[in-house]
Structure 1
Amino acid sequence: MKALIIDDEKHVRDAIRLLVDWSKYGITSIHEAKDGQEGIALIGEHKPELIFTDMMMPNTDGAGVMEWAAKHAPASKLIVISGHDDYRLVRNAITFGSIDYILKPIEPAQLNEAIAKATEELRKEEQERSRSRSIAMELKRLKPMYVEQFFCSVLNEPSAHAAMSEEIRRELRLDEPLRRARVALVSLELSSPAVREKFAASGPDLMFFALTNITNEVLASREAGYAFRYWGKEQELVLVLWGEGELAPDESLKAVNAALRDTLKTRFVFGLSEPLAFPVGAGEAYEQAKLALLRRNVLGRAVDYVLYDEAAAKRGNPLLSFHEFEEQIRFAVQGGSKDHIQRALGAWFEHIEKSGFVSFEQLTSWQGHFELTKTLWEQPGSGSEEADGGTGAEEALPCNPLRIPVTAEGRFDYPAWKDAVYQQVKLVSDRILSKDKERGVIREIAKFLEQRASEDITLQDVANHFYLSREYISRKFKQEMNENVSDYIAGIRMNRAKELLGNRSLKISQVAEQVGFQDEKYFSKVFKKWTGCTPNDYRKGHYGE
């Protein structure tokens, strides 16, 4: 803090300096003036928080200083130092809010008490100002959220918020309440790779913050509308357009795209509604904008917006004819030939290109179908040689979902999309071929076990023979054969034992030995566990006495 001592007597100014421990009160700078006129100049220049003034001075007296300070430095605290115990002077001091009226000669205790009181008031006032600034900042931060909440609720329940239009008019500084407006909509699913990468670490909230700020700067400068994030619609930015935005939306949306291109190096295509009554028509306008966006031709030329067309909305667009090509593509996938896959997909791509039309709605619908189809291709019964003997839970995991590719300019990247489709289909094909190869290995292992079931063979022996890990064989054998290796070997031995028991010339011990058991009692125990009866009982029951 700074202090100013105004007195025409130097020894008084020196006394005030010496009698106070200034650092104790947080005062780091002290200025002096020899009369009121010089004091006023220093107040204007240094803006001291604490002002000491004499009352009787040449040029401008103390009353004049306090009157000027009350108008031009009202936050400063005044302390009068006077040699005159005059009621008129005291009244002037009180009138202009002096903290204290100290008579000369100065009493140190009274002076320090007055300074302590003044600095305490300054501290409290600064705290109050700080609190007020915090409240103002919070209100400023919450204001966009309040406006955003209003517009989101208008889209959900247009008729319920007509009464709030006047309040929003004042908030947005509109000359009159909104009566008509358009809605423009943009989907961030078609945002450029540069934008996605820029906000990858910070997440979608910061991206929406940047987009709405840039858009609202443009709209506010043209008094053309307001942009906000539609709560519950994670990928949608909504613009309510009025004034120029309603009458000449092309100019406003071009300006928005220009600002986005300059700042974020991207642009968007907006779906745009017809002008409708506001707020009662807001929900309908939003649906119109959404349909315009969904059903635009993403293969068409670059535009800033697509206007809703009622006839086209009712008619809709035929979905991509994937069904008639699916079987041909599936055969190519299961065959595994790169050339066959390219030819099968090429026939479908050619069909698309001849139509010259692909909508965002078609892309998203086809994408869902494609994700399901990829999974079905890998499921048992999909056309591969044999059904998977296990649950297939691990083997049928879907590939990474296909993302709709976008150019740096924010346009649908059709060549990249075709390549991504091919890569996804080829990946499924590789997985199916890999599974078929694994099935072949497991079948070979099963045949190996059948041939050596009577031997004392272990899982490690199998692993060594096929150059595979025990863990891999155990896991894959269980998936393919629906039982583990030891149970499979036991099953072969028990079935062989049942056949040998039909030869009555063989003793039970000989049967046990021939199927790989050296201990007759252990063989009988295992046999009973598998069949529910002893070897002797089985022989009697199936082959007679």
Structure 2
Amino acid sequence: MKALIVDDEKHVRDGLNLLADWKGNGIEEVLEAENGEEAIELIATHRPAIVFSDMRMPKMNGIELLEWIFNSKYNCKTIVVSGYDDFEYMRNAIYYNSFDYILKPIDPEILNETLARAIGKWKEEFGGSVELEDREEDDTSMKAIKDYIFENYQSDVTLQDIAEKFYLSREHISRKFKQEYNETITDYLMKIRIEKAKELLTKPQLKVYEIAYKVGYQNEKYFSKVFKKYTGLTPNEFRKG
């Protein structure tokens, strides 16, 4: 199992790392993030069972992170660690199904008691099926990414755009896509574009530069180079043949 600590203050992250009995509770790896945006990438990639989160953070705060986890339906238990005994924070923590709310400064006994209960609840709800569900979620994510590329091949689709849209790291997407489909995202996108171009080349009224633009290439010469690399023929040679 993995755990994630999300807090913009390093001394708080260090304190949690030091005070929690990770090994005693079966946690093999502890990840860290400085804000909600970093946390989303780590959650999507590593699937931690437990997420400790501060509430006041830059870029994406704790409430926004709890909302994202809640809506994304990830199999994890969230524990809020905050220096603010604030009703609005607590209300949102309850609404987004946070397991507990711990106040700073952190009491080691309360921390470890809460951690043990959260892990027990996680095992009860998800422990037996989490590995299968993770594989299924990966398969679903890659299918959604493949469909997204197919639907947007005419646009300037980049790996960074895909990563931001699906809240996954570029490295994770590249690795999983290659494992699932035995080709890179770049190769898949090129294949779609060239196959569409081959269809359009059967229409004599269309110029080569028009076809290049229609399948996502802004430069006719580059399109012709890619087309020849893929088919062994230039667009004009393919059209004549």
TM-score when normalising by structure 1: 0.23
**Counterpart residue type for residue 122 of structure 2:** L
Q: Does 1:81 align with 2:77?
A: no
Aligned to 2:161: none
Assess if the C-alpha contact under 8 Å between 2:6 and 2:33 holds in 1.
Answer: yes
> Which is bigger in relative contact order (C-alpha 8 A, separation at least 6)?
2
Rounded to whole Å, the distance in 1 between the matches of 2:5 and 2:107 is 16
- Equivalent residue, structure 2, for 1:42: 42
The alignment partner of 2:112 has SS state of helix
Query: Partner amino acid for 1:45?
Result: T
Q: Which residue of 1 aligns with 2:69?
A: 69
Give the deviation of 1:71 after TM superposition.
Answer: 2.0
Summarize the alignment of residues 9-158 of structure 1 with structure 2, pairs less than 5 Å apart. 9-126=9-126, 129=129
Query: Where in structure 2 are the equivalents of 1:298-313 lying within 5 Å?
Result: none
Unmatched 5+ stretches in structure 1: 134-545
Structure 1 residues 98-497: aligned runs within 5 Å: 98-126=98-126, 129=129
CA-to-partner distance for each residue in 1:242-270, whole Å, 9 max, x for gaps? Answer: xxxxxxxxxxxxxxxxxxxxxxxxxxxxx
Q: How far has the Cα of 1:72 moved from its partner?
A: 2.0
Deviations 1:70-106 (A, max 9, x none): 1224310000000111000000001111111111100
In 2, Cα distance between the equivalents of 1:73 and 1:47? 11
SS of alignment partner, residue 65 of structure 1? helix
Q: How far apart in 2 are the matches of 1:102 and 1:126? A: 23
Gaps of 5+ in 2: 134-241
Which residue matches 1:5?
Answer: 5
Deviations 1:83-138 (A, max 9, x none): 111000000001111111111100111111110111101111136649xx9xxxxx
CA distance in 2: counterparts of 1:61 and 1:129, whole angstroms: 30
Q: Contact 1:3 / 1:49 at 8 angstroms: preserved in 2?
A: yes
For residues 58 and 127 of structure 2, the distance between their equivalents in structure 1, rounded to whole angstroms, comes to: 38
SS in 2 for 1:4: strand
Q: 2 CA distance for matches of 1:113 and 1:16?
A: 13
Cα distance in structure 1, aligned partners of 2:63 and 2:70: 11
- For residues 57-82 of structure 1, what are the alpha-carbon distances to aligned partners after superposition, in whole Å with 9 as ceiling and x for unaligned? 00100001111111224310000000
- Structure 1 residue 49 displacement after superposition: 0.7
2: distance between equivalents of 1:56 and 1:40?
16
Q: Secondary structure at the match of 2:78?
A: strand
Query: How many residue pairs are counted as aligned between the two chains?
Result: 131
* C-alpha distance in 2 between matches for 1:71 and 1:122: 18
Letter in 2 for 1:13: R
SS in 1 for 2:79: strand
Q: TM-score, normalised by structure 2?
A: 0.52
Q: Deviations over 1:276-326 (max 9, x none)?
A: xxxxxxxxxxxxxxxxxxxxxxxxxxxxxxxxxxxxxxxxxxxxxxxxxxx
Which residue is equivalent to 2:179?
A: none
Whole-angstrom CA distance in 2 between matches of 1:76 and 1:126: 8
8 Å CA contact retained: 2:6, 2:34 = yes
Please tell me whether the aligned partners of residues 36 and 61 of structure 2 are also in contact (alpha carbons under 8 angstroms).
yes
Q: Considering only aligned residues, what root-mean-square deviation do their CA atoms show, in Å?
A: 1.7
Structure with larger Rg: 1
Aligned equivalents of 2:126 and 2:40: distance in 1?
23
Q: Partner letter of residue 124 of structure 2?
A: K
Change (3 A) 1:126 1:37: closer
What percentage of residue pairs aligned between the two structures are identical?
47
Runs of 4+ with >4 A deviation: 127-130
Structure 2 counterpart of 1:109, one-letter code: E
